[in-house]
Amino acid sequence: MTAQHLSCEQLKTLVRTVPDFPQPGIQFRDITTLIGHHQGMAASVHHLATLAKAAGAKKIAGMEARGFIFGAAVAVQLGIGFVPVRKPGKLPINTIGIDYALEYGTDRLEMDPGAIEPGQNVVMVDDLIATGGTALASAELLRMAGAVVTQAIFVIDLPDLGGATRLRGAGITVDALMQFDGD
Catalytically active residues are 66, 103
DSSP assignment of 3-40, as one string? GGG--HHHHHTTSEEEET-SSTT-EEEETHHHHTSHHH
Q: Which of 125, 41, 35, 39 is nearest to 80 (CA)?
A: 125
93: how many CB neighbours lie within 10 A of its CB?
8
85 contacts 97 by C-beta, under 8 angstroms: no
Q: Which of 71, 106, 65 is nearest to 86 (CA)?
A: 65
Contacts with 158 (C-beta within 8 Å, 6 or more apart), sequence order: 29, 128, 129, 130, 179, 180, 182, 183
User: Up-side HSE of residue 155: CA atoms within 13 Å toward CB?
Assistant: 31
- CA gap 140, 149 in Å, rounded: 9
